[in-house]
Structure 1
Amino acid sequence: MIATPRLNSLCVLGLLLLATPAAASLSDAERRDIEARIHSLEGELDSLRQRLAEAPAEEAAPDQGEAPGEAVLSEIRQRRALERESTRNPLAITAYRRNYLLPVSFNNRPNRDAFRAITEANGPSDTEVKFQFSVKVNLIEDLVGNNGDLFFAFTQRSWWQAYNTEASSPFRETNYEPELFLSFDNAWTLLGWTNTRNRLGFSHQSNGRSNPVSRSWNRLYADLLFQHGDWAVSLTPHWRIPESAGDDDNPDLERYLGYGDIGIARRFAGDHEASLLVRGNPGAGHLGTQLDYSWPLFGRIRGHLQYYQGYGESLIDYDHRVQRVSLGFSINPLFSTHPE
Structure 2
Amino acid sequence: MTTSPLSSPAPPRDWRATAAATTTVLLWASAFVSIRSAGAAYSPGALALGRLLAGSLALGTLLLVRREGLPPRAAWPGIVWSGLLWFGLYMVVLNWGEQQVDAGTAAMVVNIGPLLIALLGARMLGEGLPRRLLAGMAVSFAGAAVVGLSMSGRGGASVLGVLLCLLAAVAYATGVVRQKPALRCGSALQITTFGCLVGTVACLPFSGALVSDAADAPLSATLNMVYLGLFPTALAFTTWAYALARTTAGRMGATTYAVPALVVLMSWLLLDEVPAPLAVVGGLLCLAGVAVSRMRPQTGLTRKNPARPVEGRRHDAEHRESGRR
The TM-score normalised by the length of structure 1 is 0.23
Structure with greater contact order relative to length (CA < 8 Å, sep ≥ 6):
2
More strand by share: 1
The TM-score normalised by the length of structure 2 is 0.23
